[in-house]
Amino acid sequence: MTENLPDFFEKQIAEATKARSAIQKKYNVIAILRIFYFLAAVVATVYVTDKVNAWLGILLGFILLGVFAYIIRLHLQIGWKKKYYNFIEKVNENELYRLQGNFKKIEDSGEDFLEADHPYALDLDLFGSTSLFTLLNRTATVNGRHLLAGWLGKKTDVKTIQLRQKAIEELKPLAEFRHTFQAKGQFHKGKQEEIDNLLRWVNTEASELHTNFTKIIAWLLPALVVAGTFAFFYFEDVPGIVIALPLFINFLILGKYRKTVTALCEDTVKSARILKTYVNLFKAVENEQLNSELLTALQSKMHAKNEKASEAIKKLGRILTNLEVRDNVYFAFTVNLATLYEIHWALALEKWKADHEDSIKDWFEALADFDVLQSMAGYAFLNPSFTQARFVDTPYAYKATTLGHPLIHSSKRVCNDFELQGKGKTILITGSNMSGKSTFLRTLGVNAVLAFMGAPVCASRFSIYPCQLFTSMRIQDSLEENTSAFYAELKRIKLMFKTIERCSELDEPVFFLLDEVLKGTNSKDRHLGVNAILKQLFEKNCFGLLSTHDLELNQLADQYPQYIVNRSFNSAIVNNQLHFDYKLHAGMCHSFSASKLMEGLGILGEGTVE
């Protein structure tokens, strides 16, 4: 890109706004034309029918009705384009919000994915108004949205991660394609259960409709109705029963299969609208020239039996749309009764299922995978200075250069170099209030999450050994469970040790991040407790960091130099103002800020702190 990112997104917004304004004018003109045409068509039809010839009037009415249907269709297409450009504007506005660090203006926070007992989701801000989810989520489908949340909360194997990294690099520069894909997905994302019900129906056995007998009577009985009607009107002395009897039989047949057809519709018809959106998304992926191994594999999954997923899904959507009509009372007692309309389309639905039941799940899974990859590619495009993680074979290793927090705006972000290696190795971090200890722990965790997804990390260099993350930072009491914050933290620590034991069976190390451990008790008990926790971790299948205000714990580095390393964040008073550099320093902290902060808030008298 030759232009900077804000200019690029603002240009996209301006072009979309201009296009939408032009289309709005056409939309308004056709809206007025529809009204006048309809009135003129009615007048013309009535006049010809009354003054010229009744049959000619009826014929003219059908012709004019067909033209009116075309005008309506044209109006809907223009309305679709108007909405499309509106969505393009929204997509680019969201990118500007992310660039500005204004994540709260992005509507979807992903809070519905929060799990109280997750090893790290709450502490690392995976979901919420300012979270990794809002940073990453550009998904166009409900399946993709759920899959992104799953990738955030659970790492995968290194080979899969590396395939994702290559796919993201290929998709990264395709900004306009990505925005088009996202905009098309906004028309009707639908609900997860709509797609789930559809996929569940595909795996059910064929209904009682799916028999040769039903297929025969579906054509035979309507033919008898047509023949009887023709005979009644064109031959003399033909009794009305020749029409009434086939209609009565049709009525009985519809009644016999009513529950079966209704059950089919309950599982599928609600998906009709959302499928129109999916057709456009499948088509976009199918038509794009892609080269990386993972992306071409996803495209291949969208083909089956020489038929593209978009074509098959379009057929399914048409079938379901036709089945929706059955709920109209007037239609049910006219066309449906005469032609067994709903039986025909229910049989078409069963045939579609028989032809595609082995493929449809793969199609939707492939589209969801692609959706998440294009979403992360958008994040990579927005952050060109970020790098892909490298995975090392050395266990218990985490190393990064100029590591920063991706949710902090680049103008305020302070980066640090970091390195930790060794079983049971712990970095003990001390520092004053607000000096950056907690943010640094989250920086380490958040970038590990990104790395394990395959997304770029906020660093110039980054390498890590595949491991399980575990954090204990934001511990709160619970009135509902009658639990104090201190007891809740003890439960969290117990969960950490259980996680370490479980991961030991899988030969998977745990990377822990513990912030202000046991802060809910007195200093003596806290010192004894943290001391005991650290000593237990020495021989465990883990490595990590622990922050504390307890300076006496720094002495453990002298006693156990092979396990404990002291690092700190410091503050300074410059011109009687508290100053933080947010840089990680070697050794323990010697400057604390609590008294100065209390003085600044008027809790301590001015001049109390020297």
- What pLDDT does residue 498 have? 94
What proportion of the chain, given as a percentage, has pLDDT over 70?
92
- Angle at which helix 241-268 crosses helix 212-234, to 10 degrees, equals 140
- What pLDDT does residue 381 have? 97
| In the block, residue with structure tokens 């690099």 | 169
pLDDT tens digits for 121-168?
Answer: 999 999 999 999 999 999 999 999 999 999 999 989 999 999 999 999
Query: Out of 91-95, 196-200, 443-447, which region has the weakest mean confidence (pLDDT)?
Result: 196-200
Is-contact 545 522, C-beta < 8 A?
no
* Helices assigned H by DSSP within 288-436: 293-301, 309-324, 329-332, 335-339, 341-356, 360-382
Among 433, 402, 426, smallest CA distance to 415 is for 402
- Which of the following CATH numbers is that of domain 390-600: 3.30.1330.10, 3.40.225.10, 3.40.50.1820, 3.40.50.300? 3.40.50.300
Name the residue with higher pLDDT: 226 or 81: 81
φ/ψ of 240, rounded to 5, equals: -65, -15
Q: What would you report as the CA-atom Rg of the chain, rounded to the nearest whole angstrom?
A: 33
Mean pLDDT (the chain, rounded): 86
State the Cα–Cα distance between residues 288 and 126, nearest whole angstrom. 31
Q: Residue 574 is inside which H or E element, if any?
A: strand 571-574
**pLDDT band with cut points at 50, 70 and 90 for residue 2:** very low
- What pLDDT does residue 591 have? 59
- What pLDDT does residue 148 have? 97
CA 486 to chain centre: 35
- What pLDDT does residue 434 have? 78
Amino acid 127 reads: F
Among 382, 447, 603, smallest CA distance to 132 is for 447
Is-contact 96 11, C-beta < 8 A?
no
**pLDDT band with cut points at 50, 70 and 90 for residue 355:** confident
φ/ψ of 459, rounded to 5, equals: -165, 165
pLDDT tens digits for 567-584?
Answer: 988 877 666 667 778 899
pTM value surpassing 0.85: yes
pLDDT tens digits for 258-271?
Answer: 888 887 777 777 77
| In the block, residue with structure tokens 């593209």 | 308
CA torsion 576→581→586→590, rounded to 10°?
Answer: 20
DSSP letter at 104 equals: G
| In the block, residue with structure tokens 């079966």 | 260
State the Cα–Cα distance between residues 549 and 517, nearest whole angstrom. 9
pLDDT tens digits for 409-468?
Answer: 999 999 999 999 999 999 999 887 778 899 999 999 999 999 999 999 999 999 999 999
